[in-house]
Amino acid sequence: MGGLSDIAARSACPIGSHCLAGLIFDVQALVVVVELTCVRIPLLPPGGALGRQGAYVQALAKEVNALQQGEALDQPPNPVMHRKPVLIRRRMPMTASPTSDCFFEGWGKTAFSASASAAVGPRIRRHGRILVRIAVKLPAAANRDNAGVRLTEIMALANGLADCADTPPDSQVYLDGEVRRVFVGIDIDVGELVLARTLGADGVIAHHPIGSRARLGIPAVVERHEAQMKTEGIPADTAHKLMLARRDPLAHLLHTSNYDRVVDAAKQLEMPLMNIHLAADILGRQFFIDFVGRAVDGQGTTAGSLVDELKTIPEMEASLVQPELWLGRPENPVGRWLVQMAAGTNGGAAIYRTYYEHGINTILAMHIDDRDLRKLEQLQLPGANLVITGHMPSDSIGMNRVIAALEQKGLEVIAGSGVIRV
């Protein structure tokens, strides 16, 4: 019958799992109670050393009574130790009681106390049953009594906030599940999945598309550039051609990508995962439209003063990346302005040039490639301004609206991976 090594090997891959009040190892004759200092860690493979201190392991004779050899015990599928033994040793002969900082797996002669010897016998011929009792202490901010919400419900909530009738093509629930504590980040990779598990989150919400249909669906959202251009008076055929020139290279690039790498990891870790992209960007874009509408005072507002006003937004104040004027002079009037966001990615040089040629003086965007910026500079368009608001703080504006709605529903949110929580 398998012992600690067998269980450890099965639990070593998924790092951490469930919050357990107790943990039973399926071995055969001995009860050991473990009391350790609070930290969530996985069991190590056989022979693995943790190199920590603070373990207290003691054989308790009073616990060795009704356990019969071969009796079946309930064993969690993914056992997790929330506390730290110094060392796990395998098949190590014991000639004395285990020391207070070591955890032994093995068989051999033993010289436990008289009461323990009477209960167990002088020789452990095979593994004994080992019962590990763990007093679970979650982080102080934990609220495990809050109502669980499924990720599909969260997606519906975000869609409702942004007035999206359906889930946008660049957003997806990759692995649904009920969550109470969620890790929310702008970008999620395998490292963030492991971090979320370590922090006790039972679900992960990304902003940017992670994989699967959502990642491959970004080009469909880029098509929104066409509608935005037509709204500003650009002819339909021109808008369509410019949109295709922006969309198709991105689609070809995504066609070659390892599109499901992180999603596969989430499934293997059994970590519920989703992303909310366009809905959050729509919320962020509307915030900027409202903000700039209040900040711009007729024709007297300059591009420089607009940038200064943008810096007062809480997410901007908390960010090391500030709004900047990348094209134009600070004394240029803002004139006719446009918030170019919520279309998958920025418009690039060709689309922005067309906006300028059709009467737009100031474009606000989260980001632009340096090559596109150089092309715009070479045009030397008089009175043209390009304000770059900053990627992470701008994305955080939309995501913070989603996070606030989640917290109103009673969810606990751990913000990280680029989210600037204010």
Contacts of residue 169, defined as CB under 8 A and 6 or more positions apart, other chains included, come to 213, 214, 217, 218, 220, 221, 278
Q: In this predicted model, what pLDDT tens digit does every residue of 254-292 receive, in sequence order? A: 999 999 999 999 999 999 999 999 999 999 999 999 999
Q: In this predicted model, what pLDDT tens digit does every residue of 362-377 receive, in sequence order? A: 999 999 999 999 999 9
Beta bridge partners of 59: 32
Distances (CA, A) of 271 to 14, 58, 131, 179: 10, 35, 28, 10
Give CA–CA dist 361/381, Å, rounded. 10
Give CA–CA dist 324/307, Å, rounded. 6
Q: In this predicted model, what pLDDT tens digit does every residue of 61-93 receive, in sequence order? A: 333 333 333 444 343 444 443 334 333 333 334
- Region 43-47: what's the mean pLDDT? 37
Beta bridge partners of 206: 185, 275
Give CA–CA dist 250/257, Å, rounded. 11
pTM reported for the whole predicted model: 0.68
- Region 226-242: what's the mean pLDDT? 98
**Average pLDDT in the chain:** 76
Alpha helices in 201-329 (DSSP H): 212-216, 218-222, 224-231, 236-255, 261-269, 278-295, 303-310, 314-317
